[in-house]
Amino acid sequence: MADTALQVLQVARDIYAIAQEVKANKERSLRFSIRVQCLVDPLKCIRDLNDTDSATYEDALIKLDTCLQEAKEFLLEFKKAHAVIKLWKRGDYKDEFDNFNKRLDGLASALSLGLEAATKARIDEMFEQQRKLQEDHKDKEKDWQQIVDVLEDLSEGQQKMGDELDSGFRSLRDKLDESQKNEKM
């Protein structure tokens, strides 16, 4: 049990570190890592449980560990994916985030059975459906704004490059015209 709890804590730390490095959908990644942290904070003291209580948590901890390992792999793949692929697969990524959040919701219920009232209240607050939907909506808006900003930067870069090419062609044409005039004289 203690080994599983330590493993879960380590994966949670890894997820937090990866979420800090994610560039696109940063808000969703950070929100997910906060939810993970909310679930694992109480595990720091779970080693003090007696054998009867710890058996109750073992199954939930194993499921949490599996969920977090899969989430970690997803975030690593997401972090490494090219921006164009992220745009192309944004619906799939949203579904993956939603899936992990639903799994965390279920695990929150299982883990909260024996937790202190204050900790349970914190988990309940964090996973409150309405608040979660509002936070996800805000995260989505921020993520879309980041995408729009990147696209605008790309567009401005293309415009600038086009202007520079036009200027270069005009200059070259002027020099050719001047050279042809000089040859005629």
- The number of distinct structural domains making up the chain is 1
Q: Return the percentage of the chain with pLDDT > 70, whole number.
A: 81
Whether residue 95 lies inside any domain: the answer is yes
pLDDT tens per residue, range 66-112 = 999 999 998 888 888 776 766 677 777 788 888 888 888 888 777 76
Whether residue 160 lies inside any domain: the answer is no
- Please enumerate in sequence order all residues whose Cβ is within 8 A of that of 102, keeping only pairs 6 or more positions apart, or say none: none
pLDDT of residue 62: 84
Whether residue 63 lies inside any domain: the answer is yes
DSSP per-residue codes, 24-93: TTHHHHHHHHHHHHHHHGGGGGGGGS-HHHHHHHHHHHHHHHHHHHHHHHHHHHHHHS-HHHHHHTHHHH
pLDDT at 116 over 70: no
Range of the domain at 96: 2-127
Whether residue 47 lies inside any domain: the answer is yes
Whether residue 93 lies inside any domain: the answer is yes
With H, G, I as helix, E, B as strand and everything else as coil, classify residue 138: helix
The mean predicted confidence, pLDDT, of the chain is 80
Whether residue 71 lies inside any domain: the answer is yes
Whether residue 142 lies inside any domain: the answer is no
Whether residue 152 lies inside any domain: the answer is no
